Amino acid sequence: MKYEVRFSGSGGQGIILASVILGTAAAIYENKETVQSQAYGPEARGGASKADVIISDEPVGYPKAREIDAMVCLSQKAAKKYITSLKKGGIVIIDSDFVDIPESKKYKLFKLPMSSTTLDKMGKLIALNIVSLSALVSITKIISHEALEKAITDSVPKGTESFNIEAALIGKTLAETAK
Amino acid sequence: MTGSKFEFIQGNIACAKGAAYAGCSFFGGYPITPSTEIAEYMSEYLPKNGGKFIQMEDEIASLGSIIGAALTGAKTMTSTSGPGFSLMQELIGYACIAEVPVVIVDIMRGGPSTGLPTSPAQSDLLQAKWGTHGDHPTIALVPSSVEEMFTETVRAFNLAEYFRTPVLVLGDEIIGHMREKIRIPDPGEIQIINRTVPDNSGICPLPYASDSGKPACIPNFGKSRFHVTGLNHDITGFPTMDPAIVARENERILAKIYEQREIVDKWEEIECKDADILMLSVGSAARAAEEAVKTLRNKGIKAGLFRPLTLWPFPKDTFVKYAERAKYIIVPEMNLGQLKTVAERFTKRSKIIPVNLVNGEPISPEHIISVTNYLNI
C-alpha cells in the first residue's frame, strides 16, 4: 500500500509544518515507511508552496508525489495547479472560504469553510494548517487521530500544544460534519 | 539497538548530527539556502557541547576559519550551496596542498550564479572535481537519502582525518530538505577515525613526511612550530623550488588517495550484472533511476543502476566492468551532462543516453523510462 498526500497553498500558511506533522505521525507513531518533501519559492510569504508526504508499507524511492491520493488546497492558485496530479477518485479538501473548484466525477471534493471556522473558534488564523491537516486525517483515515495529536505535540512550539490540539479537534469536527 | 532512537528528520539535520557523531567541534559558515539548517543545528549544538560555532562574513572566510581551527586539532566543517562553493574554491586547493583535514558540505541548487535558491540541481559535480586550480586530489561523497546524509558525513570526517585532506559532501536540495525516518547509531557503532597525533612531546619536526602513503601527524598547536603554506614545500613544511621535491610532493598528495582506492571507494550496484541498460546516477536523481530500474525489470527489461557514493575519485573499474557489457548507458542528472562526461570517458562500446533537467524540477522515474521506449533491446 502506498498513499500520496499533497498540501498546497501559498508561502506562510504553514503547509510544510502540516506535512512534517503528518510524516512524523506516520513514521514514528505508526511505524510506516514515510518520506516528506517540499517545494517553495525564495520569498518568505506568498508564492506557490507545496509539501508532499508519501506513506507506504515498502521503502519509498522517488520522494515526490506523482499520483496523489489526497490533497489539501488552501489557495485557488494551488488548487488549479495541482488538481491534474490527483489520482482518479482521489480526495480534494479545499478551504471553501477562498478556494472554489467544480464538482467532478474524477475526484471526491470536500468543501470545508476552514478559514472562517478557525477564525470564529480560535480567534486567529494561525492554526489553519492544523485544522486542515486534521480534516485530512479524519477524511482519509491514513493515520489515527491519536498519532496525529502526539506528532502535533512533538512539532509545534512549546506552550502552543493545547492550542494546536484544539485546532485538530476543530478540523476533525469540520470533516465529520461534511461527510 | 538498545537505547537507540528513531527520528523523522531532514537530510540537513542528519548531516549535522553525523558531524556531531564524528566529533566535529568547530563550524564556521555563512548561511545559504538550501544548506542553512546544517549551520542552524551546529550553532545550537556546538556551544552546548564544548565546541565553537562562528558565523563568518562570507564563504571564503568560512573555509579559512575551519582550516585554521583544523590545524589546532579540531575536527571542522562548513556547509554551503553553489554560490558559496564557488567562493571556497581557492582555499580548497590550499587545504589540499597544506594537507588540512576539513569537511565541506555543498547542498546543490539551481545555477549558475544565484540561480534557483530553493530548487534542486546537481550543478556542482564537476566543480567539485576541478573547481580549484592545479593538480589536486578530490574526495567527494554523494548521499542519496537522509540516512546517508548521516553516514556519509561521518565517512567524510573519517576520510578527511585519515588522508589529511579536504573532503566534500555533495547533497542537493531534495536530499537536504526531505525528511525520512532514521535511527541515530549508538556511540561506537560506526568506527570513528582520528588523525595521527605526535607523541607526548607534541613535536612533529617533519609534518609532511609520509609513511607509505599515510600522511605524517599534525604538530600539537602551541607546542611545536609548524610552517603552513600554500607554496610548494618540502617535508619540513618550508617552501622549496627544488624540481625533484616539488614533483614528488605534488604526486604524493594525489597518490596518497588514488593509490588507496580500497579505503576511499564506495558505490551501490542494483541489478548491474546482466544489465542491458545500465544507469549511472547519484544523489536524488538516483532515487528516480532506482524506481525506473524496478519498473523496467517488471516489464522484463534488463536494467540496472550503478550509483557511486564516492563520486570522486570515480569508481571506474567496477563501472567499466558493467558498462562494457551493457548496450546502453543512461545518465540521469539534474544538470546538462556533467556525469555524462564521466560515462563517456569510461565507455567504449555502449551508446550513452543523457537524461537532463535544469528547470528546478526533479527528474521523475517516468522521464527516465520514456527514453527507453525506442531502444533496441
What is the residue-wise DSSP string for B196-240? Answer: ----TT---S-TT--BTTBPPPPPPTTTS-----SS-B-TTS-B-
User: Could you tell me which residues come within 8 angstroms of residue A5 by beta carbon, excluding any fewer than 6 positions away?
Assistant: A19, A22, A52, A53, A54, A55, A65, A68, A69, A70, A71, A72, A136, A140, A142
Q: How many residues does chain A have?
A: 179
- Tell me the CA end-to-end span of chain B in Å, nearest whole number: 46
Alpha-carbon gap, residue B156 to B168, rounded angstroms: 7
The predicted structure's pLDDT at residue B1: 41
Alpha-carbon gap, residue B375 to B327, rounded angstroms: 9
The predicted structure's pLDDT at residue B219: 86
Quick one: cell of A3?
498513499
Neighbours of B254 (CB within 10 A): 15
Alpha-carbon gap, residue B98 to B64, rounded angstroms: 12
User: Phi and psi of B174, rounded to 5°?
Assistant: -65, -50
Alpha-carbon gap, residue B250 to B254, rounded angstroms: 7
Q: Is B359 near chain A, with CB under 8 Å?
A: no
Cβ contact B214:B208 at 8 Å: no
Q: How far is A24 from chain B (nearest CA, A)?
A: 6
Alpha-carbon gap, residue B132 to B269, rounded angstroms: 30
Q: Which value does ipTM take for this structure?
A: 0.95
Note down pLDDT in tens along chain B; length 377 residues. Answer: 444 589 999 999 999 999 999 999 999 999 999 999 999 999 999 999 999 999 999 999 999 999 999 999 999 999 999 999 999 999 999 999 999 999 999 999 998 999 999 999 999 999 999 999 999 999 999 999 999 999 999 999 999 999 999 999 999 999 999 999 999 999 999 999 999 888 877 788 899 998 777 888 888 888 887 899 999 999 999 999 999 999 999 999 999 999 999 999 999 999 999 999 999 999 999 999 999 999 999 999 999 999 999 999 999 999 999 999 999 999 999 999 999 999 999 998 899 999 999 999 999 999 999 999 989 87
CA distances from B58 to A43, A94, B111 (A): 22, 44, 19
Q: How far is B375 from chain A (nearest CA, A)?
A: 24
Nearest Cβ partner for A61 among B8, B291, B362: B291
Q: Is B174 near chain A, with CB under 8 Å?
A: yes
Cβ contact B79:B105 at 8 Å: yes
Q: Is B248 near chain A, with CB under 8 Å?
A: no
Q: Which residues of A touch B6 (CB under 8 A)?
A: 27-28
The CATH number of the structural domain formed by A2-178 is 3.40.920.10
Q: Which residues of A touch B (CB under 8 A)?
A: 20, 23-24, 27-28, 33-42, 60-64, 66
Q: What is the DSSP pairing of strand B52-55 with strand B76-80? A: unpaired
Q: How far is A12 from chain B (nearest CA, A)?
A: 15
Alpha-carbon gap, residue A94 to A86, rounded angstroms: 14
Which residues, numbered 290 to 329 in chain B, qualify as contacts with chain A under a Cβ-Cβ cut-off of 8 Å?
A: 290-291, 294
Q: Average the pLDDT over A51-64 and give the result.
A: 96
The predicted structure's pLDDT at residue B2: 44
Sheet holding B328-333, edge to edge: B267-270, B303-308, B277-280, B328-333, B351-356
User: Phi and psi of A27, rounded to 5°?
Assistant: -75, -45
Q: Where are the domains of chain A?
A: 2-178
User: Could you tell me which residues come within 8 angstroms of residue B271 by beta carbon, excluding any fewer than 6 positions away?
Assistant: B293, B297, B302, B303, B304, B305
- Helix (H), strand (E), coil (C) string for chain A: CEEEEEEEEECCCCHHHHHHHHHHHHHHHCCCEEEEEEEECCCCCCCEEEEEEEEECCCCCCCCCCCEEEEEECCHHHHHHHHHHEEEEEEEEEECCCCCCCCCCCEEEEEECHHHHHHHHHCCCCCHHHHHHHHHHHHHCCCCHHHHHHHHHHHCCCCCHHHHHHHHHHHHHHHHHHC
The predicted structure's pLDDT at residue B4: 59
Torsion sign over Cα B36, A78, A100, A174 = negative
> Structural domains in chain B?
5-184 (3.40.50.970), 268-370 (3.40.50.920)
Q: How far is B210 from chain A (nearest CA, A)?
A: 43
Cβ contact B319:B280 at 8 Å: yes
